[in-house]
Amino acid sequence: MRKLDTRRIVVASHNRGKLEEIAALIGPHGFEAKSAAEYGLPEPAETGTTFEQNAYTKAFAAAAATGLPALSDDSGLCVDALGGQPGVYTADWAEKPDGSGRDFLYAMTKTEDALQKAGATQPAQRKGRFVSVLCLCWPDGHAEYFRGEVEGTLVWPPRGNKGHGYDPVFMPDGHSRSFGEMETAEKSGIGAPLSHRARSFAKFEQAMLTA
């Protein structure tokens, strides 16, 4: 495994929620991190069929453009009763039909409608997981991957207004509150990471930031 020998990296994302969460995770380690948006980089088309493929697309584009290692995240919600959907298309499900952009209340409602259509009305039928794949990519194309998952149950109606994306409808196993009701620090769970992104970052931290 190639080690990270610099504290200057690019966070290959234009998603404000992801940027804030990743910044909170890498900040204590003294990183000088700027986002792809701060470098004026366009968002590459995500045409992969796996989280790993899409994470690599974003990280390599940013690394090649800046000459710096780039860290990207591709994540999504996989619902068992929906055959693993929305999966890598999680953000696409938030695209409103009128072309006015992404609306995650619309996405959560779309997911709930699909669950109802599938007859998934009881908690045991509404299981799923959040998946996060971090990709650290160097300008030469070399990449390392770190995957984190958290199991949970889809709840309705949405609970809480914290977090981002589908957080208000996802209640992690062993808890009675949704991610939308939890502070970022609680989801990051120092020593016992709870969120999928915190778990993938814990693997990144162990591999890249410890001697």
Is 1 contained in some domain? no
Question: What amino acid positions are annotated as catalytic residues?
Answer: 74
What average pLDDT is seen over the chain? 92
pLDDT tens by residue, 100-150? 999 999 999 999 999 999 999 999 999 999 999 999 999 999 999 999 999
Residue-number span of the structural domain to which 26 is assigned: 8-208
Is 3 contained in some domain? no
* Total number of domains constituting the chain: 1
Is 2 contained in some domain? no
Is 96 contained in some domain? yes
What mean pLDDT is predicted for residues 143-171? 96
Q: How far apart are CA 136 and CA 111, in angstroms?
A: 31
Is 181 contained in some domain? yes
Q: How far apart are CA 39 and CA 30, in angstroms?
A: 20
Q: Provide the CATH number for the domain around residue 141.
A: 3.90.950.10
pLDDT tens by residue, 88-101? 999 999 999 999 99
Is 93 contained in some domain? yes
* Order of strands, sheet of 127-137, starting from the edge strand that comes earlier in the sequence: 32-35, 8-11, 70-79, 127-137, 143-154, 170-172
- CA Rg, the chain, in Å? 17
